[in-house]
């Protein structure tokens, strides 16, 4: 289980780990860039749930922006 958001001081602080579930989706942003080429930017999106209710989301790109 990915509990990254627990350590960021967000809405999951202090919540018992057994109540948390995480859904994760990976993908690639494909978009035109400013020099006429195409940008391919991999990412991971995580949704954090407590007792089935969405409480936090996080998008992580593979490199700094």
Residue 14 is encoded by which pair of tokens?
A: 């202090």
Q: Over 70: is that where the pLDDT of 1 sits? A: no
* Residues contacting 43, CB < 8 A, separation 6+: 26, 27, 28, 29, 59, 60, 61, 62
What confidence tens digit (pLDDT) does each residue in 7-23 have? 667 788 888 989 999 99
Give the distance, in angstroms, between the CA of residue 36 and the centroid of all CA atoms in the same chain: 29
Predicted structure pTM score: 0.70
Of 42 and 4, the one with more pLDDT: 42
Cα–Cα distance, 60 to 29 (Å, whole number): 12
Which domain does 14 fall in, by range? 4-61
Taken in order 52, 21, 44, 61, the sign of the CA dihedral is positive
Domain count, the chain: 1
């Amino acid at each position: 289980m990915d509990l990254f958001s627990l350590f960021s001081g967000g809405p999951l602080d202090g919540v018992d780990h057994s109540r948390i579930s995480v859904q994760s989706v990976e993908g690639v942003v494909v978009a035109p860039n400013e020099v006429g080429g195409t940008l391919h930017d991999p990412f991971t999106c995580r949704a954090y749930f407590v007792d089935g209710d969405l409480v936090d989301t996080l998008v992580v790109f593979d490199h700094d922006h």
